[in-house]
Amino acid sequence: MQTLRIQQIDISSPVSLVLADRRLLNYLLRNALALSEKSGGYQIPFDALTGVFSSKAPDALRLSQGIERLLQVTVKISDNEPNENIYITNLLLNVRIDTKNAVLSYAFSPAARMIYDDPKLLEYCLIEAHFEYKYSQRLYKILAEYIFSTDKNEPFSIEILKLRECLSIEEDKLKNFNDLDRFVLTPAINEINLYASFMVTINQVTKGRKVTSLDFSFQRKRNIKDKSNPLDVIPAVRPKMTIENPEEEKAYTYLLNTTTKERKQYFNVALKEAKKKKVRIEINSFDTPDVWFEFCKKELLKNS
């Protein structure tokens, strides 16, 4: 496994991971990067996990529930040898929750630790489970392959027919570009812009009245190719949030542990409310609800 040359990597789980589970994985990955990504095992105190499940440090029971789901996450890696090999392993190994000292010990499997060797693969593993829309994952792979292979800021151009092929869209489906844009490109780009280390915009290239190709332009949010600062691979841990009101604490905890689909509804409420108050909420703050919780708090309290 030490000389494995990665060709493709997939991360999957038989159970749905809520935002709190994904935040837990992000914290564990970031902690491992800070300590040493090549190490076999890591420790993190419960206090350092403040903000994962609520605005307080998690208790052992809540932490164990998240860990149980993460232990079901698997990593599948195929190499690029002439006779392709496929390795399947759990993402996490050797988890121990020390309730007396409030410390979590864990390790990533040897195969999973190889993810650190490629920032593109690491980002993909961090955000793949976030995508709800099937075309988001496919389009992300196309765009990431381009943007991580060049340091230039030139647009990525692709013909519509080639894009349809890469996205596995059947010939008799979404033949009209307006339908392709509405049902494939717009929702996929919206999700990619929420999670990726880059923002994407599209420019249509036409011949006559027909859209023949697309130019994808990029704006980098985080330079995760710079290995001199590996922590840039993962967004910064949010500042600790203190909520004194028990009902508000309950509402915030609910927001962290709800499904991505439902959290989007509250995010849209927050966007509208913030706009009324002339406050700008960045679209890439979707997975940091402490930034926008204040603007959907009333709606959460009403529905809880």
pLDDT digit string (tens) for 158-203? 999 999 999 999 888 888 999 999 999 999 998 898 888 889 999 9
pLDDT digit string (tens) for 230-289? 556 565 666 677 788 889 988 998 988 888 888 989 999 999 999 999 999 887 788 888
Q: Are residues 282 and 183 in the same domain?
A: no
- Residue 211: is its pLDDT beyond 80? yes
Q: Is residue 109 part of a domain?
A: yes
- Residue 2: is its pLDDT beyond 50? no
pLDDT computed for residue 228 by the predictor: 60
Q: For residue 181, give the CATH number of its domain.
A: 1.10.10.10
Q: How far apart are CA 115 and CA 119, in angstroms?
A: 8
Last residue of a domain, one of 96, 117, 138: 117
The domain total for the chain is 3
Q: Is residue 32 part of a domain?
A: yes
Cα torsion 257, 136, 284, 116: sign:
positive
Q: Is residue 124 part of a domain?
A: no
Q: For residue 76, give the CATH number of its domain.
A: 1.10.10
pLDDT computed for residue 166 by the predictor: 93
**Please, where are the H alpha helices in the chain?**
19-35, 60-70, 110-113, 119-127, 134-147, 160-166, 177-180, 186-195, 246-257, 260-276, 293-303
Domain that holds residue 294: 246-303
Q: Are residues 215 and 294 in the same domain?
A: no
Last residue of a domain, one of 94, 117, 140: 117
Q: Are residues 141 and 91 in the same domain?
A: no
Average pLDDT, the chain: 84
pLDDT digit string (tens) for 92-137? 888 999 999 999 999 987 767 767 667 777 777 767 767 778 899 8
pTM of the predicted structure, to 2 decimals: 0.74
